[in-house]
C-alpha cells in the first residue's frame, strides 16, 4: 500500500501518527458516522465465551470475529474508519496474531484509520467502583496501548456509552488523565428529552469544587440514543457480509 507522504511518514523507523478526518464542506451539514465496538467484558457470558463466540445460545457474540472483520475491511478501503473501546478483548486478540498482522494493525493505527477510545481494560461502572480500582484498570489498558502503539495509540476521548449513570468524580479523573472529551449514552429519559429540546447535550463539565479550573474541566457530550438501531440489527455479521453494512465515509 502506497500512502501520500503528507499523510504518513517513517523516519529512522519512527512512525508519525496523523490526523485522518475527511475534509468537510463549508456551508454544508457535515455528519460524522462513527463505527465502534460495544463488547461487554463479561455480562450474560464469561469473558472467554464472549471472545471465542461460545455459548451463543445465551447471546450471539464472538469478539475475535469482530476484530478479524474490522481489520480486513479497514485494510481494503483507506476511506474507512473504526474506533475500538475494550482493551481487554483487544489485548487477548493481539496476543494471538502473527507479527505480520500486528504490523498491519500498527499501520492502521498510525494512519488514524483504527483509533482507540477510553483505553481502559473495560468501561467501568461509575457508581459501585472505588476510585483506586478505576485508576488501576485504566492504567493497565493505557499502559498496554502505549507500549504497543506509542503516541498514536493514545486515546483522546473517554467513552462510557453503557454505564448506568455518571459521576462527576469519573469526569474529574478523566480530565486529570488528559482526555480531550467525554461521551456517554445513558441518562434519565426526562433529562435527555429536556436537553434535546434545549440543545444542551454538550457542556463543559466542571467536575471538581476543590481543584483549580481547568484541572478537572472536561468537554462532555451526551448521545441522543444509547445504541443506534443499525448496530442492533447487524450484530453478528460474518466476514462475507460485513462489507455490505460497514459504515464508510462519503467518497472524496
Q: Which residues are catalytic?
A: 162
Which is nearest to 182 in space by CA: 226, 227, 118, 124? 118
Residue 218 bridge partners (DSSP): 205
Answer for the pair 38, 184: CB distance below 8 angstroms, yes or no: no
> SS3 for 95-151, per residue?
HCCCHHHHHHHHHHHHCCCEEECCCCCCCCCCCCCCHHHHHHHHHHHHHHHHHHHHH
171 Cβ contact list (under 8 Å, min separation 6)? 182, 205, 207, 216, 218, 220
* Residue with cell string 475475535: 64
Amino acid at each position: 500500500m502506497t500512502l501520500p507522504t503528507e499523510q504518513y511518514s517513517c523516519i529512522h523507523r519512527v512512525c508519525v501518527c496523523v490526523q485522518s478526518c475527511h475534509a468537510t464542506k463549508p456551508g454544508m451539514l457535515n455528519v460524522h458516522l462513527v463505527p465502534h465496538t460495544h463488547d461487554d467484558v463479561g455480562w450474560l457470558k464469561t469473558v472467554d465465551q464472549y471472545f471465542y463466540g461460545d455459548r451463543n445460545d445465551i447471546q450471539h457474540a464472538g469478539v475475535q470475529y469482530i476484530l478479524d472483520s474490522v481489520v480486513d475491511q479497514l485494510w481494503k478501503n483507506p476511506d474507512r474508519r473504526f474506533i475500538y473501546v475494550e482493551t481487554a478483548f483487544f489485548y487477548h486478540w493481539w496476543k494471538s496474531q502473527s507479527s505480520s498482522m500486528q504490523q498491519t494493525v500498527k499501520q492502521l493505527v498510525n494512519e488514524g484509520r483504527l483509533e482507540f477510545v477510553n483505553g481502559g481494560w473495560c468501561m467501568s461502572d461509575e457508581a459501585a467502583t472505588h476510585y483506586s480500582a478505576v485508576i488501576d484498570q485504566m492504567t493497565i489498558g493505557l499502559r498496554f496501548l502505549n507500549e504497543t502503539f506509542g503516541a498514536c495509540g493514545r486515546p483522546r476521548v473517554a467513552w462510557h456509552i453503557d454505564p448506568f449513570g455518571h459521576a462527576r468524580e469519573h469526569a474529574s479523573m478523566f480530565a486529570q488523565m488528559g482526555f480531550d472529551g467525554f461521551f456517554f449514552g445513558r441518562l434519565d429519559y426526562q433529562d435527555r428529552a429536556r436537553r434535546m429540546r434545549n440543545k444542551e447535550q454538550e457542556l463543559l463539565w466542571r467536575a471538581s469544587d476543590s481543584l483549580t479550573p481547568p484541572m478537572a474541566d472536561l468537554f462532555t457530550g451526551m448521545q441522543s440514543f444509547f445504541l443506534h438501531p443499525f448496530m442492533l440489527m447487524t450484530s453478528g455479521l460474518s466476514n462475507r457480509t460485513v462489507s455490505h453494512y460497514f459504515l464508510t465515509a462519503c467518497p472524496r
